[in-house]
Chain A
Amino acid sequence: MDFGPYFLLATLEGAVGAAVLALTALGLSLVFGVMRIVNVAHGAFFMLGAIIAWWVADTLGAGPMLSFLAALIISPLAVGAVAVLAERLILRRLNYNPESTIVATIGLLYVIEQVALMTYGPDARPVVAPIDFRVQLPWFGYSGYKLLVIAASIVVMLAVWWGLTRTRIGLMMRATQFDSETARAFAIPVDRVYGGVFAFGAMLAAIGAVLVVPIQQAHYLMGNDPLLLSFIVVIIGGLGSLRGTVLAAVIIGLSDGIISVFFSPTLAKIIATLVVAMILVIRPKGLFGTQSA
């Protein structure tokens, strides 16, 4: 293949990665922005979403389309329920202290991962893609499902944007993010907003995971890479800035896809992590951010 088509293929692969990453990172960013906590278990929620999707598709045993749609609804709801439980039982009792929360969510990460290992096992299992056609480009055929993933991700993000800016719940969330004390004084149920935001962040990760499962198999350790990448995205995008998060996800997802096609992935990752660390050292607020961590 010539360089041009090859580059196009790398870009498409990168765009798929970026689409999933944007959803996952958006969840992390919302939780950080509104609650000012870092959720280390976010990758575990992602993994849980993928595993539940596999489980739903496997139990249902219906056609690929039906199974996938069922998974797309049930999995985020189940993950959201787990997140609400974790928020109620653990985070609220810690009073959302940033450092204690990190320790607790590290614990949560291990618990979810190990429970997945005990029940689901160490194997990687796929979910069949709901649609099976290839878009025939002049140089190569490309999976139609992957294009669908990009479209679905854009739709979900638009819905989140609409919800945040145009609805009452979104207004409550923004008010809590802006100043939780004053929000409470205006009779906004801050506790419930926190619970909702934490669950919603986890659900976004789960949606990303359900979308990715037909491309990449479900495995109990699959949450680690998305977690690290989401961290990077949220930091680069500016802590608490949703627009920055989406922009950074696109940049990083695309460049990750393109770089790993052309260069050694390990070296690329080393450079990327060091760059992120240095960005945080030099600009603790991130590139587009307004809050500092």
Chain B
Amino acid sequence: MRSRWANKATVLHVGVIAVLFALQFVLPEYHHVNLARVMVLASFAMGYNIAFGYTGLLSLGHAMFFAAGLYAAGLMAQFAGVSAAGGLLLGVAAGLALAAAVGCLALRTTGVSFMIVTLMFAQAAFLATFYFGEYTRGDEGFVIPSHLRHLFGLFLAEPATRYFVALSLFALCLAISFAVARSSMGRVLAAIRENEERTRMLGYNVFLYKLVALTISGAMSGLVGAAYGMLFGYVGATFASIQYSIFPLLWVLMGGAATVLGPFVGTLLMFYLVDISSGFTSANMLIVGLALIGLILFFPKGILGSLRERAAPWLP
């Protein structure tokens, strides 16, 4: 029984990637660029989902992990001439190291305190991008020199390449999420989310599991941050702001926390909601606010979460 479900899930996820691969040949240019961006941002949301969805760690500071990757890649390109491959590795390293360090401190707290502590650390990181404005150029940001935006000979600013790299990143993050969700570690993480005390009583080192989950989540966010910089060429302080901590929360909530595809569904939907609404109002964050309130009131499990509950229990 279980293996048949596993097959169904595998087919679904491979199918989604295949559809996304095929879409690039039919989409008009505008949506082609958008979808590439959505896939990158959805990868960030999948990283967030490891911490928030699977482990129940409601962090309000993931912008700092994303920005750590973004700035690691961007600054090293700007000042040391490191190109994309090195940048991506640096991004992973930066996100991983920061998440491990922050986790060691912040995971001593739980619940609301954890949110506030992560928020404070992220705020300090955000302010740091201004303090070192001499290098980061603060709000204004800087553009990564295009001759460094090459990955194994591929020029990343070229739309078809960008789409392909975004899709590869997306597939990688999807695979990581899928693996975590299916692994025995994933079960322990879910157990921690549902009842931390009981899991501790069963003999699991709860702190260590949470730290590993947060570190994986941070490393993924760092990788995506670096990829975002390399693919779209711009590095700025906005990406370290509180908004970029709230976005992944929103996307995951909308698509369904603790579902592998939820972050993608949520990101896609939210991206187009904001995109369409910005056509007729400058206050497009209003949609974000209303979506947050509506979701938490009426769909706390999100789209795929509700679907799993009602129709498709096999959804990972």
Contact = CB atoms under 8 A, between A and B. Distances in A.
Contacts of B289: 106-111, 113-114
Interface in A180-231: 228, 231
Interface in A214-264: 228, 231, 235, 264
B178 interface: no
Contact of A111 (B58, B284, B290): B290
A288 to B, nearest CB: 16
Interface string B98-139: 000000011011011101110011011001101100000000
In the A-B complex, the 3 residue pairs with the closest CB atoms: A110-B289, A107-B292, A277-B120
Contact of A273 (B120, B130, B286): B120
Interface of B: 58, 60, 105-106, 108-109, 111-113, 115-117, 120-121, 123-124, 127-128, 130-131, 246, 249, 253, 281-286, 288-293, 295-297, 300
A147 interface: no
Q: Give chain A's interface secondary structure class.
A: helix
Given A100-B300, A113-B285, A284-B113, A266 B127 contact: yes
A159 to B, nearest CB: 29
A110 B253 CA distance: 16
13 contacts: A38-B116, A99-B58, A106-B246, A107-B288, A107-B293, A113-B289, A117-B283, A270-B124, A277-B106, A280-B109, A281-B109, A284-B109, A293-B116
Contacts of B296: 94, 100, 103-104, 107
B135 to A, nearest CB: 14
Contacts of A143: none
A104 B127 contact: no
B120 to A, nearest CB: 4
A198 to B, nearest CB: 15
Which of B249, B253, B289, B290 has most chain A Cβ within 10 Å? B289
A269 B105 CA distance: 20
Contacts of B123: 228, 273
Nearest to B113: A293
Contacts of A276: 120
A128 to B, nearest CB: 29
A90 B293 contact: yes
Contacts of A110: 285-286, 288-289, 292
